[in-house]
Amino acid sequence: MNRWIREWSVVGVLALLLAYLAWRAPAFFQLQPLLSLLAREAPSLVVACGVAMVIIVRQIDISVGSQFSVCSVIAGLLAAAGWPLAAVVPVAVLIGGSLGLVNGLLVAWLGLPSIVVTLATLVALRQCLNLVRQGEFVNLPERIQWLGLSQSQGQWLLVGGAVGLVAVLAWGLRHLAAGRWLYAVGSDAEAARLAGIRPRAVTLGTFVLMGALTGIAAMMNVVQSPQVQPLTGSGLELKAIAAAVVGGVAISGGRGTVWGVLAGLLLLACISPAMVHLHIDAYWEKAIQGLIILAAVMVEGLRRRRNHAR
Amino acid sequence: MTRSFVVSCLLLSLASSLGWSAPDSKLLVALLPKSKGNAYFISCKAGSERAARDLGVELLFEGPVDSNAAKQNEIVENWITLGVDVIAVAAENREGISTALRKARREGIKVVTFDADAMPDARSFFVNQATPQGIGEALMDEAARLCGGEGEFAIICATLTAGNQREWQREIERRRQERHPGMKLVAVRPCDDLKDRAQSEATALMSAHPKLRLIMAICSPAVPGAAEAVKQAGKKGAVRVIGLGLPNENRRYVKEGVTDTVILWKTEDLGYLTVQAAVALAKGELKAGASTFKAGSLGEFRIEGDNILLGKPFLFNRDNIDQFDF
């Protein structure tokens, strides 16, 4: 229990928020809007888990928003050209993985700082999209929305799928050797190398996985609406990093769980609709989200200081 | 010097290959959009070509492919070298383009702006497609009409701080107080220009305000975003959607009856009026201080100061939306 205190503290704050909403704005808990909210956050959750793993290996990826857009637009264009969903999804994952591979090669093999590399790819990919699409929406064929299911079936499937993915990632990080390597490399790359782990390969693999997850997330978003806006996903990197940090992933690497990320994302995602339900001016929203992130970082700082003193 | 000479030779040969033979008597009008591949400006172009035909002038339509302010300067410089008669610009960057435009004016080239203005001293007239007052009144009047004069409505904007968005909101509020006091604004939510975010915001608005009658989306991605939310909530007809946007992005929702009205201006008319004004300016028929301007087949337009006003915004709805493709 003590080991997961950081994750449980986020769950506690979330529970407090929900309890307050139940008291002051019970309309928040209507099934259909709530299911919509969760389905709309499912893609962000998948991306946030990927970002969390990148942070665990002591790197950062701020290009995920642009990767997300590129995957969404290409998937949209293929679907519009008549490709079946069964072919579009693997292509989206492949494109995401390739974009991750580019970041990974630059970071792991050339040893460039990931913040600079992914800043460059963030801007470059976004500009490419602007150039090609001029902001024009991609119209999707009817059969794509909700994967051909009914709306509520589709939404349940997306929410279930995202949570299932979190469970698989959580299990893999905990029980697979490859999962443990992430923590080893993030804690101390040199020690990991001496222990026979190849830090570069682990870093590269993490970036590729990040990209593939972004591809999956893009598809989870594309199937929720009949149009793709090329700007989609802009700002997603900040949301994902915030969810990871609030969820207890140490920005200095080597620590964190994807379950924590789930709690962090839910907390941040509930703020906006909660403000609408509590009739609070939207001006406060970013301030409150900022305070939550600040609190998370401070807790992290205190924890490190305590460990240091020990 | 040599470089600009080479550039002008290249441009001249290019222009002649495009069918523009001798720069003799025909007036040469150069139109610079923010981005030349954008559907919005392509439909402006259709109107400007019609005006050029009506007036018997040559038209150059050139612009960046990606809303690039530096590239706009470069194109203006090239046009100065080429010696066009009049330049019409939709400025990507208000200050950025003005230096090049002042230089053009010193060289004797007439300058007007359209769609997005430059600094006032860098051009003679601005063809203003919509005043904040016109937009605010059109939105509020249409909202009140759809709600029968009373009910709750909410606004989804781009950001809370954007200048134009705030100005429109002030005009909406002024009109509401003056004409439609039965309408009640219950919330203003930002969507960061993201359709997906607008959809989430609209969903939250509907569940938090069960008596909500209408969502007014005042940035273009928010209109289809709000419409998708209304559709998914099964509230088509119960919660109306109107907003500022492009017909193409909203066509499916307008046809399905989810979105009632999309408000913008006729972009073809904007292109037509711009070229008419540019040519009149070059011929000396349009002078500072004029209060009206007659633009060919479109008739008379009002001039306020140095702004030529396109007039009231246009309402796209189920009956007319198929006549427009942008």
Domain CATH code at residue A225: 1.10.3470
pLDDT at B20: 47
**Structure confidence by residue, pLDDT tens digits, B128-182:** 999 999 999 999 999 999 999 999 999 999 988 888 899 999 999 999 999 999 9
pLDDT at B300: 94
| One-character DSSP codes across B86-100 | EEEE--SSHHHHHHH
B252:A139 CB<8 A: yes
**Structure confidence by residue, pLDDT tens digits, A217-233:** 999 999 999 999 999 99
Interface of B with A in 261-320 (CB under 8 A): none
Residue of A nearest to B196 (CA): A232
Residue of B nearest to A30 (CA): B207
Exposed, middle or buried by CB within 10 Å (0-12, 13-18, 19+), for A281? Answer: exposed
Do B219 and B158 meet the contact criterion of CB atoms below 8 Å apart? yes
Q: Which residues of A touch B245 (CB under 8 A)?
A: none
- Give the start-to-end residue ranges of the domains of chain B: 2-129+266-310, 132-264
Exposed, middle or buried by CB within 10 Å (0-12, 13-18, 19+), for B115? Answer: buried
Query: Which residues are registered as beta bridge partners of B87?
Result: B30, B111
User: A87 in a domain, yes or no?
Assistant: yes
With CA atoms as reference, report the closest residue to B267 among B43, B39, B30: B43
| Number of separate domains in chain A | 1
pLDDT at A84: 94
All residue ranges of chain B with pLDDT < 70 are 1-24
Q: Which residues of A touch B207 (CB under 8 A)?
A: 27-28, 30, 32-33, 273, 277
**Chain A interface with B: residues with Cβ < 8 Å:** 25, 27-28, 30, 32-33, 36-37, 40, 127, 130-131, 134-137, 139, 151, 221, 225-227, 229, 231-232, 234-235, 272-273, 276-277, 279, 282-283
**Among A38, A127, A142, A227, the residue to mutate for chain B (most B Cβ within 10 A):** A227
A40:B199 CB<8 A: yes
Output DSSP code: residue B183. E
Chain A contact for B16 (CB, 8 A cutoff): no
Rounded to two decimals, the pTM is 0.88
pLDDT at B98: 94
Strands B125-128 and B307-309: parallel
Chain A contact for B119 (CB, 8 A cutoff): no
Residue of A nearest to B155 (CA): A282
Tell me how far the alpha carbon of residue A227 is from its chain's centroid. Answer: 22
Please state the ipTM of this predicted complex.
Answer: 0.93
Q: Which residues of B touch A26 (CB under 8 A)?
A: none
User: A259 in a domain, yes or no?
Assistant: yes
**Among B232, B236, B249, the residue to mutate for chain A (most A Cβ within 10 A):** B232
A33:B192 CB<8 A: no
pLDDT at B24: 53
Residue of A nearest to B190 (CA): A282
Structure-block tokens of residue B225: 């975003």
User: A39 in a domain, yes or no?
Assistant: yes
Residue of A nearest to B221 (CA): A229
A277:B189 CB<8 A: no
Number of A to B CB contacts under 8 A, please give it.
99
Rounded CA gap, B213 and B170, in Å?
Answer: 21
pLDDT band at A300 (very low <50, low <70, confident <90, very high): confident
Q: Which residues of B touch A277 (CB under 8 A)?
A: 204, 207-208
A229:B66 CB<8 A: no
Please tell me the distance in Å from A137's CA to the nearest CA on chain B: 7
Mean pLDDT of A80-94: 96
Output DSSP code: residue A107. I
Residues spanned by the domain of A219: 2-302
B65:A131 CB<8 A: yes
User: A245 in a domain, yes or no?
Assistant: yes
Q: Which residues of A touch B66 (CB under 8 A)?
A: 127, 130-131, 134
Do A58 and A206 meet the contact criterion of CB atoms below 8 Å apart? no
With CA atoms as reference, report the closest residue to A63 among A120, A108, A1, A5: A120
Mean pLDDT of A58-73: 97
Angle of helix A236-246 relative to helix A258-277, nearest 10 degrees, comes to 110
pLDDT at B220: 92
**Domain B132-264, CATH:** 3.40.50.2300
Chain A contact for B176 (CB, 8 A cutoff): no
User: A309 in a domain, yes or no?
Assistant: no
A166-198: b (≥16 Cβ within 10 Å) or e: beebbebbeeeeebebbbbbbbbbeebeeeebe
pLDDT at B237: 95
Name every residue whose Cβ is closer than 8 Å to that of residue B165 and which is 6 or more positions away in sequence.
B157, B158, B159, B218, B219
Q: Which residues of B touch A28 (CB under 8 A)?
A: 207-208
Q: Is the per-residue pLDDT at A181 higher than 90? A: yes
**Domain B2-129+266-310, CATH:** 3.40.50.2300
Please tell me the distance in Å from B205's CA to the nearest CA on chain A: 6
Q: Which residues of A touch B188 (CB under 8 A)?
A: 282
Residue percentage of chain A with pLDDT more than 90? 89
Chain A contact for B70 (CB, 8 A cutoff): no
Please determine whether the domains at B2-129+266-310 and B132-264 fall in the same fold group of CATH: yes
Mean pLDDT of A176-187: 96
